[in-house]
Amino acid sequence: MARNPFKPTAGANPPLLVGRDVLVEEFLESIEDGPGAPGRITIFTGPRGIGKTVMLNTVAERVQSDHQWLVIDETATTGFVNRLTAASRVLLDPEAATRRRVKAVTLPAQLGGFELSDDPARPIGLREAAGALARRCEENGTGLLVTLDEVHSSSRDELRQFATAVQHLIREDREIAVAFAGLPAAVTELLNDEVTTFLRRAERHVLSDVPLAEASRALAETITANGRRIDPDALAVAARATGGYPFMIQLVGYQVWRKASGDHIDAEAARVGVEAARARLGSLVHETALAELSGVDRAFLSAMAHDDGPSRLQAIAGRLGKGLNYVSVYRARLLEAGMIAAAGRGKVDFAIPFLREYLREHAPE
Neighbouring residues of 182: CB distance < 8 A, sequence distance ≥ 6: 43, 45, 52, 76, 149, 150, 151, 152, 190
Q: Which of 184, 206, 228 is the last residue before a domain boundary?
A: 206
- Condensed to tens digits (0 to 9), the pLDDT of residues 231-285 reads 999 999 999 999 999 999 999 999 999 999 889 999 999 999 999 999 899 988 8
Q: Quick one: average pLDDT of 147-165?
A: 89
pLDDT band (50, 70, 90) for residue 120: very low
Q: What is the pLDDT of residue 2?
A: 82
pLDDT band (50, 70, 90) for residue 359: very high
β-partners of residue 177 are: 145
Report the candidate in 211, 242, 226 with the shortest Cα–Cα distance to residue 354: 242
Q: Which residue has the higher pLDDT, 161 or 92?
A: 161
- Condensed to tens digits (0 to 9), the pLDDT of residues 186-234 reads 888 888 888 788 888 899 999 989 999 999 999 999 999 999 999 999 9
Q: What is the pLDDT of residue 94?
A: 60
- N-terminal to C-terminal alpha carbon distance within the chain: 45
Q: What is the mean pLDDT of the chain?
A: 88
Are 42 and 164 members of one domain?
yes
Are 131 and 241 members of one domain?
no
Distance CA 168, CA 132 (A): 13
Give the domain range for residue 136.
21-206
DSSP 8-state symbol, 265: E
Neighbours of 62 (CB within 10 A): 16
Are 47 and 60 members of one domain?
yes
Are 94 and 193 members of one domain?
yes
Report the candidate in 152, 223, 222, 233 with the shortest Cα–Cα distance to residue 193: 152
Torsion of CA 83, 85, 87, 92, to 10 degrees: -170
Q: Which of 271, 289, 307 is the last residue before a domain boundary?
A: 289
Q: How many domains, the chain?
A: 3
Neighbouring residues of 206: CB distance < 8 A, sequence distance ≥ 6: 45, 46, 184
Are 307 and 250 members of one domain?
no
Q: How far is CA 50 from each of CA 22, 67, 129, rounded to the nearest angstrom?
A: 16, 27, 33
Q: How far is CA 201 from each of CA 39, 165, 183, 307, rounded to the nearest angstrom?
A: 9, 16, 18, 39
Are 106 and 255 members of one domain?
no
Are 177 and 41 members of one domain?
yes
In CATH, what number is assigned to the domain containing residue 313? 1.10.10.10
Q: What is the pLDDT of residue 102?
A: 30
The answer, yes or no, to whether residue 83 has pLDDT greater than 70, is yes
Q: Are 278 and 357 in contact (CB under 8 A)?
A: yes
Q: Quick one: average pLDDT of 5-34?
A: 93
Q: What is the pLDDT of residue 89?
A: 86
Are 48 and 185 members of one domain?
yes
pLDDT above 70 covers what percent of the chain?
Answer: 91
- Condensed to tens digits (0 to 9), the pLDDT of residues 276-323 reads 999 899 988 899 889 989 999 999 999 999 999 999 999 999 999 999
Q: What is the pLDDT of residue 1?
A: 66
Q: What is the pLDDT of residue 95?
A: 56
14 part of a folded domain:
no
Q: Which of 206, 233, 258 is the last residue before a domain boundary?
A: 206
The answer, yes or no, to whether residue 108 has pLDDT greater than 70, is no
pLDDT band (50, 70, 90) for residue 167: very high
Q: Quick one: average pLDDT of 54-61?
A: 95
The answer, yes or no, to whether residue 99 has pLDDT greater than 70, is no
In CATH, what number is assigned to the domain containing residue 130? 3.40.50.300
10 part of a folded domain:
no
Are 246 and 314 members of one domain?
no
Q: Are 277 and 248 in contact (CB under 8 A)?
A: yes
Distance CA 166, CA 199 (A): 10
Q: What pTM was estimated for this model as a whole?
A: 0.83
Q: How far is CA 57 from each of CA 69, 73, 82, rounded to the nearest angstrom?
A: 14, 9, 22
pLDDT band (50, 70, 90) for residue 43: very high
